[in-house]
Amino acid sequence: MSDGAPVEITVNGSTVAARPGELLIDACERTGTYIPRFCHHPRMEPVGMCRMCLVEVDTGRGPALQPSCMLTCSPGMQVDTESERTRSAQDGVLELLLVNHPLDCPVCDKGGECPLQDQTMTFGPGESRYVEEKRHFVKPIPVNTNVLLDRERCVLCDRCTRFADQVAGDRLIHFLERGSRTQVNTFPGEPFSSYFSGNTVQICPVGALTAVPFRFKARPWDLEEVESTSVLDSVGSRISVQSSRGRVLRFMGLDSDAVNWGWLSDRERFVFEAYDHPDRLTGPLLSGGAAGGQDPKGSTQVSATWADALGATAEALSGTDPDRIAVLGGSRLTNESQYAWAKLAKGILGTDNVDAQLGDGLPVEVLLGLPRATIDEACTPGGTIVLLGPDPKEELGSLYLRLRHAVVHDGATLIELTPHATGLTGIATHSIRVLPGEAAGVVRSMFQGGTGDVAAAGAVISSGGPVTVLWGRTSLAETDGLVVDAAMALLEHVPDVGFLSLLRRGNVHGALDMGMSPGFLPGRTTLEASGDKFENVWSCLPGETGLGCVAALEAAAAGDIDVLVLLGADILADLPDHDLARRALEQAGTVVAVDLFVTSTVECADIVLAAAAPTEVDGSFTNLEGRISVVARGSSPPGTSRPDWMIAVELAERLGTDLGFTSLDGIWSELASVSAVHADLSLNLIRASGTEGLLAKGQMPLAMPPVTEVPDATESTLRLVVTRSMFDNGVLNAHSNALAGLAPGAGIRVEPSDLDRLGLEDGSTVEISGPRGEHIAEVVASTQVMAGTAHVLFNQDGLDAGRLIDASMPVIDVRLVKAR
């Protein structure tokens, strides 16, 4: 859009260079002349609804009032934004808007940050000539459980409805009763059930749309604001954390050009409520056994001092061999905390049984060895996006909005290779259903021997434009090797292909960069390739590659792990294989949980260390592109809970050594000395990088991974597909009032023809038998799933998908029979 020579226009007597195709309102704002507006939003198509941006424009036919949001700059345009006629037009528009808009600013949540209020003060007439009664509506009405609508405040700017249509694609709010009674509303009984509804509150230029979690909580002028990053998923959306009197009261999306464009999913936006929940851990807990009593393991946990809890942890850690210690989880942590824990585990304790991924991730050597794409590269206008992973709409909401924009508005071509329909299926050029285990074969047939859609998709990919593969685990019920094989086949056939990982969990990419996986060290390097960089800084290095999450838990279940440290890892809920998690927790020696809440997993721990939440710590975050941005504290940790890196520092001290740093800057200077990826970075540079953050670059040499063998599918069984949805029973979801009720629950979904073949009916109760025994559930007919598969949502009420999964099998085949 910005290609070509600049367009010279005159604004209030000064010459201004506009970009080719730029709207007048944007060109003026960029060059320092603000034109008031309500409907115009830079991330959406202009509509010219509100007329607030009328300015006097002369394009050679004499000056005339024109809406600057609908006018593309043309050479020689003479613009006057301060003329008498412009002023009078602004007065008139505001007077008309205020005919019906109530002057309830003192009790309105928007008061103090309201564009209508501000612009009336700046540009408006100050007095109204109207004495007539204003419009009245029942107020407020919920458009969904989190967003309230006060219709009499609405100025019909079309921002929320355009967002629903153009950005989210959920056209569930609309102008109704157009004419003198126009209002925004939903269809009766059909709420605005969009994953992105909170954005409409953020862009509403008046107080018509308000969010339940913030309504009447604080006045805008009482809010303190820090720029931070959402650590809820791996997109790392930039946010503004806003708090008052020490409590975080809301998150707002920041417009980061490279990442989230100001948008947030409702999960990212409303999760802050969980951090403020009264169930938060306020200090350490010790179970009876760990406190020195005679009680058996898993008995009641009681409050303890940090001295006792850290002492007990250090005692457990120092009393065993390094290879009998495992440290799992860590995606919640900031980069700095991850480095501290990685150093504690590998550089002091000497164990390599460290894994931030919980059996649902990707092999690190492949992830770090593939050419990595950025979100912008994936969304290149006219490029091709290949989805070989989970549904971005369900798992990485703000990435989904970027992808949707690229396809719908920027002419990108989307090809999806998934076992079920996704949120992107409706806009995909080729939507190819792939049975778990057959992805690599389908990819190869795209380039050779395929027919129909498969061949057509291959032709698009081979046509020469930029290609980005979004790759991740399409199903939690299949092994990671399968998607790796498919990714390798794409790498082989597509020159210059880029890969963007869809690993979803928080700062998991930071954890991988910090070496929180077996065989790895900070800086995207392996134990073998580390050279001597670590020798002077770390007191030891693990002798050989340790166990990954699943292997470590299997070892624990076999009684071979004496200390199991869980860094925010709720393995009973989050590990795909629930049976393994349960056995590991039962058989592990001492279980140490560093967490925010007493989750079902933490209940099984002997020692519980209370950590600070992401809104309570300073530091940095690494997103799925490798982009590092700032995390900043908006409130204090409850009780004596503290940042994870401090816990690591204190544990090191109890172990009689020293981690070598006592501040974030100390961590960074050490990190920069050992990690080539972070060598030129510091926390100050990241802070100074603004909304866009800094991209950490560095690719490892790629070794060809082994090929995974898959058994053939059989007629009598269905292949299990397990995926996550935006809202589930995860601990943060469950502790946020706004999100708690939104989890959809799980049944087992089967394609209608399979139901017929198996003699089952929609809604009937079935017995599911697979490697983990028999389970009863309701079967639902769905055309969204692929024939030959059975689809279950993970971590929901109803059928527990984690009890169907055996992590040791490449794919899971289940048999469905009618329950007696």
Partner 1 sequence: MGYFSDTNQSLALEIIGRYPRPKSAVIPLLHLAQEQEGWVTREAMLQIADLTGVTPAEVLGTGSFYEMFKFHPVGRYMVNVCTNISCQLLGGEELLDHVESTLGAGAGDTTEDGMFTVEDVECVAACTEGPCFTVNYRYFHRATPGVFDEVVADLREGRSPIQRGAAGDSGDMPEHGRLGRVRQEIPAGRRAGVVPPEQAGEQPVWLSSTAEVDTSG
Residue closer to partner 1, measured from CB, 88 or 182: 182
Residue closer to partner 1, measured from CB, 172 or 446: 172
Q: What is the Cα–Cα distance from 107 to 768, expressed in whole angstroms?
A: 56
**105 is a site residue for partner 1 (CB under 8 A):** no
Residue closer to partner 1, measured from CB, 172 or 755: 172
Residue closer to partner 1, measured from CB, 169 or 523: 169
Query: Interface with partner 1 by CB under 8 A: which range of 179-187, 231-239, 410-418, 535-543?
Result: 179-187
**Residue 334 and residue 617 in contact, taking contact as beta carbons nearer than 8 Å:** yes
User: Which is it for strands 301-303 and 285-287: parallel, antiparallel or unpaired?
Assistant: antiparallel
**Looking at 32, 126, 179, 246, which residue binds partner 1 (CB under 8 A)?**
179
Distance of CA 468 to the CA centre of its chain: 19
**176 is a site residue for partner 1 (CB under 8 A):** yes
Residue closer to partner 1, measured from CB, 175 or 306: 175
**Looking at 175, 247, 314, 493, which residue binds partner 1 (CB under 8 A)?**
175
Q: Which amino acid is at 616?
A: E
**Phi (first) and psi of residue 595, to 5 degrees:** -155, 175
Residues pairing with 516 in the sheet: none
Residue closer to partner 1, measured from CB, 83 or 782: 782
CB of 138 to partner 1, least distance (A): 17
**Residue 730 and residue 233 in contact, taking contact as beta carbons nearer than 8 Å:** no
Query: Interface with partner 1 by CB under 8 A: which range of 172-180, 480-488, 538-546, 675-683?
Result: 172-180
**Residue 678 and residue 696 in contact, taking contact as beta carbons nearer than 8 Å:** yes
Residue closer to partner 1, measured from CB, 177 or 715: 177
Q: What is the Cα–Cα distance from 268 to 259, expressed in whole angstroms?
A: 14
**Residue 258 and residue 375 in contact, taking contact as beta carbons nearer than 8 Å:** yes
**188 is a site residue for partner 1 (CB under 8 A):** yes
Residue closer to partner 1, measured from CB, 191 or 810: 191
**Looking at 171, 215, 697, 818, which residue binds partner 1 (CB under 8 A)?**
171
The sign one gets for the Cα dihedral 292, 297, 299, 304 is: positive
Residue closer to partner 1, measured from CB, 128 or 182: 182
CB of 177 to partner 1, least distance (A): 5
By CB under 8 A, how many residues form the interface with partner 1?
A: 15
**Residue 133 and residue 163 in contact, taking contact as beta carbons nearer than 8 Å:** no
Q: What is the Cα–Cα distance from 139 to 525, expressed in whole angstroms?
A: 59
**173 is a site residue for partner 1 (CB under 8 A):** yes
Q: What is the Cα–Cα distance from 454 to 173, expressed in whole angstroms?
A: 37
CB of 187 to partner 1, least distance (A): 4
**Residue 630 and residue 687 in contact, taking contact as beta carbons nearer than 8 Å:** yes
Query: Interface with partner 1 by CB under 8 A: which range of 173-181, 485-493, 683-691, 804-812?
Result: 173-181
In a 13 Å sphere around the CA of 135, the CA atoms on its Cβ side amount to 19
Residue closer to partner 1, measured from CB, 166 or 600: 166
**43 is a site residue for partner 1 (CB under 8 A):** no
CB of 215 to partner 1, least distance (A): 23
- HEC sequence for 420-459: ECCCCHHHCCEEEECCCCCHHHHHHHHHCCCCHHHHHHHH
Q: Which of 718, 716, 715 is nearest to 789 (CA)?
A: 718
Q: What is the Cα–Cα distance from 526 to 368, expressed in whole angstroms?
A: 11
Q: Which of 148, 159, 136 is nearest to 108 (CA)?
A: 148
CB of 502 to partner 1, least distance (A): 28
**Looking at 13, 189, 278, 464, which residue binds partner 1 (CB under 8 A)?**
189
**186 is a site residue for partner 1 (CB under 8 A):** yes
**197 is a site residue for partner 1 (CB under 8 A):** no
Please list, in sequence order, all residues whose beta carbon lies within 8 angstroms of the beta carbon of residue 638, skipping any fewer than 6 positions away: 280, 281, 282
Q: Which amino acid is at 39?
A: C
Q: What is the Cα–Cα distance from 695 to 686, expressed in whole angstroms?
A: 10
**141 is a site residue for partner 1 (CB under 8 A):** no
**687 is a site residue for partner 1 (CB under 8 A):** no
CB of 787 to partner 1, least distance (A): 24
**180 is a site residue for partner 1 (CB under 8 A):** no
Strand order in the sheet with 619-622: 619-622, 627-631, 694-695
CB of 308 to partner 1, least distance (A): 58
Residue closer to partner 1, measured from CB, 135 or 757: 135
**187 is a site residue for partner 1 (CB under 8 A):** yes
Q: Which of 352, 367, 368 is nearest to 545 (CA)?
A: 352
- Chain position carrying tokens 């469905």: 816
**Phi (first) and psi of residue 406, to 5 degrees:** -60, -40
**Looking at 43, 87, 135, 174, which residue binds partner 1 (CB under 8 A)?**
174
**Residue 535 and residue 347 in contact, taking contact as beta carbons nearer than 8 Å:** no
CB of 169 to partner 1, least distance (A): 10
**Looking at 3, 177, 709, 715, which residue binds partner 1 (CB under 8 A)?**
177
**Looking at 69, 97, 172, 286, which residue binds partner 1 (CB under 8 A)?**
172
CA distances from 274 to 216, 477, 732 (A): 19, 29, 6
**Looking at 3, 190, 532, 712, which residue binds partner 1 (CB under 8 A)?**
190
How many residues appear in the chain?
Answer: 820
Q: Which amino acid is at 299?
A: S
CB of 145 to partner 1, least distance (A): 17
CB of 186 to partner 1, least distance (A): 6
CB of 460 to partner 1, least distance (A): 17
Catalog residues that contact partner 1 under the rule CB under 8 A: 171-179, 185-190
